[in-house]
Amino acid sequence: MKSLYSVAEIRTIEHTIAQSLPAGTLMRRAGEAAASAARAMLAGRKVLVLAGPGNNGGDALEVAANLAGAETDLEAEVTVLYLPGSSAPSPETARALARARASKAQFVDSLPLGRDWSLIVDGLFGIGLARPIDGAMRLLVEAINALGRPVLALDVPSGLDADTGAVIGPDGVAVQATRTITFIGDKPGLHTFEGRDYAGQVQLAPLGIDPGQRPPAGARLNEPALFARHLAPRRHNSHKGSFGDVAVIGGARGMAGAPLMAARGALFTGAGRVFVAAIEPAGAVDVVQPEIMMRDAQDFDSGDATLVIGPGMGDSVTAMRVLFKALEGKAALVLDADALNLIADSPDLQGRLAQREATAIVTPHPLEAARLLGVTSAVVQGDRLAAARELASRLNAVVVLKGSGTVIANAGGAVVINPTGNAGLATAGSGDVLAGICGSLLAQGWQPWEAAIGAVWVHGAAADRLVAQGSGPIGLTAGELPVAARAVLNALAR
């Protein structure tokens, strides 16, 4: 299980473990693990080590000592820029400083100009960053980023909030890392919002603390093991009724494509029968995908179908009526797009959703989530985990808060961050496809929680597959996702 620990949880683990280990053990181990990560990245000799005032700086000084120590056969030329704070360093950091000073590392007072660094080690700040990086330190971070050299960040890229993935700001700066080696436990902020861009590749160094010594984490990274129980191979003796019906309700005037995208998402991930019930019927058949059955939302009887409501649905009276009826009914539900905007405007509908017996899946992007919570999208993005948790608890639903590092939360407080997907998904219609996949998995009998995390994983992996084939991220279209999602899901089921 890929646990993600908050800063508070890491501090608790550190506190407990430190009592059973000789002082400075964890920092020494962090320095050793990070030095091997640095060696693995090194394609030249010149290493710049940035060491800040706290224990993150201590880790960096350990790395400098390890890379430039007499015992090493690697001829790295290590330069250390150490920026102590106004208070004395911790005893561990003081020891690391003495080790680094005794090594062959050269200490400097400012960023040396004109050197072609093979690697920069970022040990300015870790989980102790308490306020935005400003003054000379800010200029240093900007100068480092402008160099565009490989950067190994220690624990967290300096400037990034390890809990939220936000650059601590307003208008803050953070070190742009190529790779982040993170200590003791992985952290949510490295995998969502701005975190994926700043952290680069994330590597975990548990520092000898085995999982048994760590309490359960508040969040985890999505992986197929979390929904594997639903990935059974299909029985020979099955028929289309075995895999459920999905009805997508949406498609106001000018928005006919949105429900079709969702319907294709459902069809290509295995739903038995797929309908589109259009608010404004645009045609009797989808000529590209004639398997999809076209209906008029006005008089559509959805029977036992799983409903995906909202893609391109608009806010007409018909839209409102259909949504109301669905919330009243017992069908499994996925609520997306305009359905969420209508619900955001109506405390009555919110109450009905929260009181439903069958848990619905809601798939807001940050602005839709902001409307539902009555805040701005900047507030949602500033703490995506908290926003998803709060929405899940208010709506009593499984919430899929979309965007880079999609966050999935349920009313029981479980939180998962999705690692698949890429910026190719930042294109119109990709959210509709996701809603359709959610509906498809629900219709095939998956539980709402697993349907949501499974759909998000498959949807992102489909985009990754397309990028690997050269069909993105630039110019990837939502219409390509269903076929790729089919390949991903079949590979998982095999």
Ligand X SMILES: Nc1ncnc2c1ncn2[C@@H]1O[C@H](COP(=O)(O)OP(=O)(O)O)[C@@H](O)[C@H]1O
Q: Assess 166 for contact with K ion (CB under 5 A).
A: no
Say if CB 38 and CB 67 are below 8 A apart.
yes
Partner touching 402 among K ion, ligand X, ligand NAX, none, CB below 5 to 8 Å by kind:
ligand X
Q: Assess 480 for contact with K ion (CB under 5 A).
A: no
50/122 Cα distance (integer angstroms) = 5
Instruction: Return the residues of window 87-126 that contact ligand NAX according to CB under 6 A.
Output: 125-126
The residue within the footprint of ligand NAX, chosen from 3, 6, 56, 180 (CB under 6 A), is 56
**Binding-site positions for (6S)-NADPHX:** 55-59, 126-132, 155, 258, 312, 365, 432
17/28 Cα distance (integer angstroms) = 14
Give whichever of 356 and 459 is closer to ligand X, judged by the CB atom. 459
Q: Assess 430 for contact with ligand X (CB under 6 A).
A: yes
**Cis-peptide into 448, omega within 30 deg:** no
Closest Cα to residue 406, out of 390, 422, 424?
Answer: 422
Residue least distant from K ion (Cβ) = 158
Q: How far is the CB of 130 from K ion (least distance, A)?
A: 14
Q: How far is the CB of 64 from ligand NAX (least distance, A)?
A: 14
274/305 Cα distance (integer angstroms) = 9
Instruction: Return the residues of window 182-211 that contact ligand NAX according to CB under 6 A.
Output: 183-184
Q: Assess 52 for contact with ligand NAX (CB under 6 A).
A: yes
Q: For 248-293, give the DSSP string.
A: EEE--TT-THHHHHHHHHHHHTT-SEEEEEESS---SB-SS-TTSE
Separate counts of helices (H) and strands (E) for the chain? 16, 18
- Note the Cα 191 to chain centre separation in Å: 5
Helices (H), 173-275: 195-199, 257-268
Give the distance between the most distant pair of CA atoms in the chain.
82
Q: How far is the CB of 182 from ligand NAX (least distance, A)?
A: 9
93/59 Cα distance (integer angstroms) = 8
Helix (H), strand (E), coil (C) string for 313-348: CCCCHHHHHHHHHHHHCCCCEEECHHHHHHHHCCHH
Q: What is the CA radius of gyration of the chain?
A: 25
The residue within the footprint of ligand NAX, chosen from 2, 50, 54, 308 (CB under 6 A), is 54
Q: Assess 154 for contact with K ion (CB under 5 A).
A: yes
**Binding-site positions:** 55-59, 122, 126-132, 155, 158, 258, 312, 365, 402-406, 431-432
Q: Assess 428 for contact with ligand X (CB under 6 A).
A: yes
Instruction: Return the residues of window 302-361 that contact ligand X according to CB under 6 A.
Output: 337
Q: Assess 434 for contact with ligand NAX (CB under 6 A).
A: no
Partner touching 122 among ligand X, ligand NAX, K ion, none, CB below 5 to 8 Å by kind:
K ion
Give whichever of 158 and 440 is closer to ligand X, judged by the CB atom. 440
Give whichever of 24 and 251 is closer to ligand NAX, judged by the CB atom. 24
The residues facing 249 across adjacent strands are 277, 309
Give whichever of 59 and 480 is closer to ligand NAX, judged by the CB atom. 59
Q: How far is the CB of 184 from ligand NAX (least distance, A)?
A: 6
446/269 Cα distance (integer angstroms) = 13
Q: Assess 26 for contact with ligand NAX (CB under 6 A).
A: yes
Q: Assess 158 for contact with K ion (CB under 5 A).
A: yes
Instruction: Return the residues of window 343-362 that contact K ion according to CB under 5 A.
Output: none
Q: Assess 129 for contact with ligand NAX (CB under 6 A).
A: yes
494/491 Cα distance (integer angstroms) = 5
Q: Assess 275 for contact with ligand NAX (CB under 6 A).
A: no
Tokens at 412, concatenated? 């029981």
478/424 Cα distance (integer angstroms) = 9
**Interface with ligand X (CB under 6 A):** 337, 365, 402-404, 406, 421-423, 425-426, 428-432, 434, 459
**Interface with ligand NAX (CB under 6 A):** 10, 14, 26-27, 30, 52-59, 85, 125-133, 137, 154-155, 183-184
